[in-house]
């Protein structure tokens, strides 16, 4: 997020705020210039009150990029760091998890190297005995099964819904994003009701 968003979020919530460091979409093999951007983003996030950082980086053969991760972790200190879903693209998840633990990551976001946390539940259960946070396709309909089946004590989800834009004049001939992006006059927002429902389910289980 831009520093402005981080500042406003920090003013509005009391829970720890971890900032995602991701210079672009796509894969997790980064160029030297992208690494410069990541380091600059980490410094800005720390400056504007981030409580922790979230990033991931891989080598071309699908292993944890230990050299880059070590360098980024040094910039993040003393804040805690989570390795994001780049983990789901690794060659060997069990070896990758051992590497991340040895590097000093405190959490791993993962869908169990599958399309959603529910499909990857068996692997998440194995990983959660060491360190992980289930992520991917988690909703109020499947959270209980995922938490009970994985022994994880935390989870990550978007809990969002679409809200129609307040624009009355709409130009149907122009789109500001790619063809696969959300409709031009639809806004994705955090859904308070979903968050409360998910929290209630988790508190009942954990």
DSSP string, 127-146: HHTTS-EEBSS--TTTHHHH
Looking at the structure of the chain, the number of domains it has is 1
What are the E-state strand segments in 86-203? 107-110, 133-134, 160-164, 186-190
For 23-32, 71-80, 139-148, 185-194, which range has the lowest pLDDT when averaged over its residues?
139-148
The confidence score (pLDDT) of residue 135 equals 63
In a domain, 95, yes or no: yes
In a domain, 128, yes or no: no
pLDDT one-digit tens code per residue, 114-137? 888 888 888 888 887 766 665 667
In a domain, 102, yes or no: yes
- Provide the pLDDT confidence category of residue 183 given band limits of 50, 70 and 90: confident
In a domain, 169, yes or no: no
Give residues with Cβ within 8 angstroms of 186, minimum separation 6: 162, 163, 164, 165
In a domain, 146, yes or no: no
| Domain hosting residue 81, numbered range | 1-109
- Is the model's pTM score more than 0.85? no
- Provide the pLDDT confidence category of residue 204 given band limits of 50, 70 and 90: confident
In a domain, 83, yes or no: yes
The confidence score (pLDDT) of residue 122 equals 83
Q: Calculate the average pLDDT of the chain.
A: 87
Task: Report, as an integer, the average pLDDT of 3-12.
Answer: 94
pLDDT one-digit tens code per residue, 9-67? 999 999 999 999 999 999 999 999 999 999 999 999 999 999 999 999 999 999 999 99
Helix axis angle for 121-128 and 143-150, nearest 10°, is 50
The confidence score (pLDDT) of residue 153 equals 74
pLDDT one-digit tens code per residue, 146-164? 777 776 777 777 888 888 8
Give residues with Cβ within 8 angstroms of 24, minimum separation 6: 34
Helix (H) or strand (E) holding 124: helix 121-128
* DSSP state at residue 64: B
In a domain, 53, yes or no: yes
Higher-pLDDT residue of 94 and 156 is 94
In a domain, 123, yes or no: no
Q: Which CATH number belongs to the domain containing residue 37 in this structure?
A: 3.20.20.380
The confidence score (pLDDT) of residue 134 equals 56
Phi then psi for residue 142, to 5 deg, are -125, 0
* Contact between residue 100 and residue 88 where contact means Cβ atoms under 8 Å apart: no
């Amino acid at each position: 997020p831009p520093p402005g968003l981080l500042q406003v979020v920090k003013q509005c919530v009391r829970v720890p705020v971890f900032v995602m460091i991701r210079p672009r979409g796509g894969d997790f093999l980064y160029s030297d210039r992208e690494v410069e951007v990541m380091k600059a983003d980490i410094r800005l996030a720390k400056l504007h009150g981030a409580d922790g950082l979230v990033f991931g980086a891989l080598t071309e053969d699908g292993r944890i990029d230990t050299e880059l991760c070590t360098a980024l972790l040094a910039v993040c200190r003393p804040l805690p760091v989570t390795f994001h879903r780049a983990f789901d693209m690794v060659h060997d998840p069990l070896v990758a998890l051992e590497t991340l633990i040895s590097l000093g990551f405190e959490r791993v976001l993962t869908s169990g190297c599958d399309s959603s946390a529910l499909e990857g539940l068996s692997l998440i259960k194995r990983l959660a005995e060491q360190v992980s946070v289930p992520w991917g396709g988690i909703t109020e309909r499947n959270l209980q099964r995922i938490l009970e089946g994985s022994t994880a004590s935390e989870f990550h989800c978007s809990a969002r819904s679409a809200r129609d834009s307040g624009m009355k004049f709409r130009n149907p001939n122009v789109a500001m994003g790619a063809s696969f992006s959300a409709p031009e006059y639809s806004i994705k927002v955090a859904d308070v009701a979903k968050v409360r429902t998910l929290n209630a389910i988790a508190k009942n289980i954990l």
